[in-house]
Structure 1
Amino acid sequence: MKVLIKKEITSHIRSWRFIILLALIVLTFGASLFVSFSGLKDTINNAQDPDSTFVYLKLLTTSDNSIPPFHVFLNFLAPLLGIALGFDAINSEHNGGTLTRLVAQPIYRDNLLLAKFFAPLIIVSVLFTSLVMLMIGAGIMSTGIHIEFQEVVRIIGFIAVSIIYVAFWLSLAILLSIIFRQGATSAMTAIGIWLFFTIFFPIVINFIVRPFIPNPNYISEQEYLAWHELILNLMRLSPSQLYTDATTSILMPSVRSLGPVSMEQMVAAIPSPLSFKDSLMIVWPQLTGITAAMMVCFALSYFVFMRREIRC
Structure 2
Amino acid sequence: MKSQPISLKDLSLKQAKSNQSPEKAVSEGPFNVIVRKEIADHIRSWRFIVLIGLIVLTFIASMYVALGNIKSSVGNTDDPDHVFLYLKLLTTTDNSIPPFHIFLSFLAPLLGISLGFDAINSEQNNGTLIRLMAQPVYRDNLLLAKFVSALVIVSTLFAALALLMIGGGMLLTGVRMEPQELLRILSFITMSITYVAFWLSLSILMSIKFKQAATSALTAIGIWLFFTVFYQIIVNLVIRSFLPNPTFLSQHEIMAYNELVLNILRIAPNQLYTDATTTLLMPSVRSLGPITMEQMASAIPSPLPFKESVMIVWPQVSGLIAATVVCFALSYYLFMRREIRS
Q: TM-score, normalised by structure 2?
A: 0.90
Taking the TM superposition and a 5 Å limit, the aligned residue runs for 1:77-226 are 77-226=107-256
Aligned pairs, how many? Answer: 312
Q: Does 1:241 align with 2:266?
A: no
Q: Distance in 2 between matches of 1:218 and 1:190?
A: 43
Indicate which of 27, 35, 43 corresponds to 1:13.
Answer: 43
**1:307 Cα deviation from its structure 2 partner:** 1.4
Higher mean Cα deviation, 244-253 or 209-218?
209-218
Q: Distance in 2 between matches of 1:223 and 1:264?
A: 16
Aligned partner letter, 1:55? L
SS at match of 1:115: helix
Q: Cα deviations across residues 184-230 of structure 1 (Å, max 9, x unaligned)?
A: 00000000000001100000000000233333322211111110111
Q: Distance in 1 between matches of 2:162 and 2:190?
A: 12
Q: Distance in 2 between matches of 1:76 and 1:70?
A: 10
Q: Does 1:70 align with 2:71?
A: no
Q: Distance in 1 between matches of 2:180 and 2:93?
A: 22
Q: Distance in 2 between matches of 1:242 and 1:210?
A: 23
Aligned partner letter, 1:259? G
Tell me what 1:284 maps to.
Answer: 314
Q: Distance in 2 between matches of 1:35 and 1:9?
A: 33
Higher mean Cα deviation, 211-220 or 93-102?
211-220
Aligned partner letter, 2:202? L
Tell me what 1:308 maps to.
Answer: 338
Indicate which of 230, 236, 240 corresponds to 2:260.
Answer: 230
Q: Cα deviations across residues 152-173 of structure 1 (Å, max 9, x unaligned)?
A: 1011100001000000000000
Q: Distance in 2 between matches of 1:118 and 1:124?
A: 10
Q: Does 1:270 align with 2:293?
A: no
Q: Distance in 2 between matches of 1:31 and 1:274?
A: 29
Tell me what 1:50 maps to.
Answer: 80
SS at match of 2:132: helix
SS at match of 1:198: helix
Q: Cα deviations across residues 116-152 of structure 1 (Å, max 9, x unaligned)?
A: 0000100000000100100001100011001110011
Q: Does 1:40 align with 2:70?
A: yes
**1:91 Cα deviation from its structure 2 partner:** 0.3
**1:306 Cα deviation from its structure 2 partner:** 1.1
Q: Cα deviations across residues 27-69 of structure 1 (Å, max 9, x unaligned)?
A: 1100011000000001111100111111101101111100000
Q: Cα deviations across residues 256-282 of structure 1 (Å, max 9, x unaligned)?
A: 011112111111111111111100111
**1:243 Cα deviation from its structure 2 partner:** 0.4
Q: Distance in 2 between matches of 1:8 and 1:192?
A: 26
Contiguous gaps of at least 5 residues in structure 2: 1-30
Q: TM-score, normalised by structure 1?
A: 0.99
* Larger Rg over CA atoms: 2
Q: List structure 1 runs of 4+ shifted beyond 3 angstroms.
A: none
Percent identity for Structure 1 against Structure 2: 65
Aligned partner letter, 2:319? G
**1:308 Cα deviation from its structure 2 partner:** 1.0
**1:310 Cα deviation from its structure 2 partner:** 1.2
